[in-house]
Amino acid sequence: MKARCLPAIALGFSLCAALAQAQTTAQSAQALSADQAREENAYTLGVQAFLWGYPLYHYAMSAPKSVKAGAVGLNTLRKYDALKTAKDRTVVTPNNVTIDAYARIEVAQEPVVVHVPALAEPRWYLTQIGNMFDEITYNVGGIKGPAPGDYLVTGPDYRGSVPNEMTQVPLRTTAGVVAVRIFVNDEQDVAAAVQAQKGFQVMPLSAYQKDGLRYQPVKQQAPEPFAGSAPESVQFFEQLGHAMQQYLPASGGGDDALLTQLRLIGLSPQNGFDWRALDESTLRGLTRAVAAGEQIVAQRWRNLGETTNGWRYFLEGGRAGHDFALRAALAKHVVGAQLADQVVYPNTQVDEGGAALEGRYKYVLHFAKDQQPPTSLFWNLSMYGSDMLFVENSFGRYSIGNQTAGLKPAADGSLTVLIQKDKPQDTANWLPAPPGPFNLTLRFYGPASSVLDGTYRLPAVKRVD
């Protein structure tokens, strides 16, 4: 019997139209063919696979380039012995208050030892151990203070013993990342920071047991880029399948239920992406899933965090495993982000009126008395061009903060940072800007609780005529 339609004027819509829409939707659902149902199921699972697996895909794609370029060591730390400057074109949004060292570690065959030394002189450092899902697994140092010792990073299938006096750090993936960051005050402090850096080491357990801290890393071949054969429209899933083979144990690393479902679209840690076994309907659904996944990640990044006074804050770095879209967005844009209780780094690209920051204007960032960025350690404001790299300048200053030598608060206790292209008469508080567009990132090292709970927010950057 056809439903009787009555106008629902008080509710502002037609009940007749609503019933018609419901009937159309029901008929449409009933009309799905077997091929259409397979396509929609593949699309649904494909979107989940894209978001869940994006960090694995990102690390697998970047590994050959980063190891070959010497930016990252393989089972050993690739150390930097000088301040990053505008000439360093390998790392976006760099900072020049730390010297860093990076390693890709492989723990499928045996554990890896991370040695953290007892420093001769007090110095802030942070040793970060993470997995291939871009999650922080363990931090040594940082806000917790010095914690020298040997840390045994083990894979998900490790059943061996842990040597005495070692702290076990279990990963849920068969590979991981180690980053060591050490504070450096200025150019004159570089040599001492480099000396401190030398004590940090990464090596396989067998090498540690044989040679101890005298171990000399052997040169290892960078992994070859993966060459797939899948149709271009689903090559993402082929790369993801390759990453799953590289980084996941057979059990799936804790995502067993999801991986059982992903077998329906040809994905598994054992076989990678078996695209040849899929029918055309499933491949069509996966093609749509790639496009949708990219848009979901873009929207998640665009709407991430909070913006106050033009500064964008996000506090989810390193612990976004519960939210696949968020984790994917972070891996794509700020891979290796630290936990917010260690470092928070808001960025701004606009002034107080919402206009883009441009070098043809002069700006100030003014902190009232007792309103400098609250941290238990230090803060630092970095200048970047539109490419998110340091801006070269003849003055040789790329950032400014409370550790900058000669920084001058006013008589009333306030502090004003001058942000402009032209050199001012007094350069104590000057952060040089480029002629064109730029943006700023302020890092809170050891942010106070007022930063984390939103009580404290940075003032807007003000344009001055």
Beta strand 343-344 with 438-447: parallel, antiparallel or unpaired? antiparallel
Which residue's structure tokens are 């850096």? 197
Q: Rounded distance, CA 225 to CA 244, Å?
A: 15
Taking a C-beta distance cutoff of 8 angstroms, is the pair 74, 104 a contact?
yes
Which tens digit of pLDDT belongs to each residue from 39-64?
999 999 999 999 999 999 999 998 88
Which tens digit of pLDDT belongs to each residue from 225-257?
888 899 999 999 999 999 999 999 987 666 888
Q: Looking at the DSSP assignment, which residues form a beta bridge with residue 384?
A: 390, 439
Domains of the chain and any CATH numbers: 34-63+224-302 (1.10.3360), 76-214 (2.60.40.1610), 306-464 (2.60.120.600)
pLDDT at 387: 81
Q: Looking at the DSSP assignment, which residues form a beta bridge with residue 73?
A: 103
Of residues 204, 339, 265, the one with CA closest to residue 50:
265
Q: Looking at the DSSP assignment, which residues form a beta bridge with residue 399?
A: 382
Angle between helices 235-247 and 34-68 (to 10 degrees): 60
Taking a C-beta distance cutoff of 8 angstroms, is the pair 173, 133 a contact?
yes
Q: Rounded distance, CA 64 to CA 61, Å?
A: 7
C-beta neighbour count of 16 within 10 angstroms:
14
Which tens digit of pLDDT belongs to each residue from 329-360?
999 988 888 999 999 999 999 999 999 999 99
Amino acid at 448: A
Which tens digit of pLDDT belongs to each residue from 176-230?
999 999 999 888 888 999 999 999 999 999 999 999 999 988 877 777 888 889 9
Contacts of 43 (CB under 8 A, 6+ apart): 285, 286, 288, 289, 292
pLDDT at 125: 96
Q: Is 414 exposed, middle or buried (0-12, 13-18, 19+ CB in 10 A)?
A: middle
Give the pLDDT band (50/70/90) at residue 12: very low
pLDDT at 108: 95
Angle between helices 280-302 and 235-247 (to 10 degrees): 80
Give the pLDDT band (50/70/90) at residue 6: very low
Q: Rounded distance, CA 117 to CA 122, Å?
A: 12
How far is CA 456 from its chain centroid? 24
Q: Rounded distance, CA 46 to CA 157, Å?
A: 28
Region 113-118: mean pLDDT is 98
Which tens digit of pLDDT belongs to each residue from 408-437?
999 999 999 999 999 999 999 999 999 999
What three-state secondary structure class fits 328?
Answer: helix
Which percentage of the chain shows pLDDT scores above 90? 73
How far is CA 225 from its chain centroid? 22
Instruction: Give me the numbers of helices (H) and strands (E) for the chain, helices first please.
Output: 9, 25
DSSP-assigned letter for residue 286 = H
Cα-based distances in Å from 294 to 35, 40, 57, 259, 396 = 25, 18, 13, 21, 39
Region 442-463: mean pLDDT is 97
The mean of the pLDDT values for the chain is: 89
Which tokens hold the place of 169? 């750090």
Cα-based distances in Å from 23 to 16, 27, 36, 245 = 11, 6, 20, 46
Taking a C-beta distance cutoff of 8 angstroms, is the pair 184, 99 a contact?
yes
Which tens digit of pLDDT belongs to each residue from 371-410?
999 999 999 999 999 887 888 889 989 999 999 989 999 9
